[in-house]
Amino acid sequence: MERTEGKRKPLAKVEGRRRLRHSGLTIAWRGTPNLDDWVAYIVGTKSKKLILADDASERKVKGLLSRLQTMPKREIEKLAKD
C-alpha cells in the first residue's frame, strides 16, 4: 500500500517593530513560532544592519527586547554584531 503525502501548510512567520522610548531606536524582529530562527535588528542605520540576535529562540528575542527598553543608544549599538 502506497502512502500519499498531503500538502503541508507553510509555517507562519511573525514580524514586528518596536520604537524604544529611552534610546529612540527602532528594533524589528521576525521568526517562526516554535523554531529557533528568530532575528532582531536595529532599523534605520544608514549603511548596515546592526543585528542584535540571530538564529535565536522567540523567548530569547522577547527577553532581549524587554531589556533594551531602559538601555541608552550607545549600549544597544555596542551589543549589536557588525
For the entire predicted model, the pTM comes to 0.79
Express each pLDDT in 2-53 by its tens digit.
566 668 877 889 999 999 999 999 999 999 998 999 999 999 866 567 899 9
Number of domains the chain is built from: 1
Q: Which residues pair with 28 in a beta bridge?
A: 17, 41
- Is the residue at 44 inside a domain? yes
> What's the pLDDT band for 62 if we cut at 50, 70, 90?
very high
- Is the residue at 4 inside a domain? no
Expressed as residue numbers, the domain containing 65 is 14-79
- Is the residue at 2 inside a domain? no
Buried b (16+ CB within 10 A) or exposed e, 5-18: eeeeeeeeeeeeee
- Is the residue at 1 inside a domain? no
- Is the residue at 55 inside a domain? yes
- Is the residue at 9 inside a domain? no
- Is the residue at 26 inside a domain? yes
**Residue entry with cell 522577547:** 62
Report the C-alpha gap between 61 and 46 in whole angstroms.
23
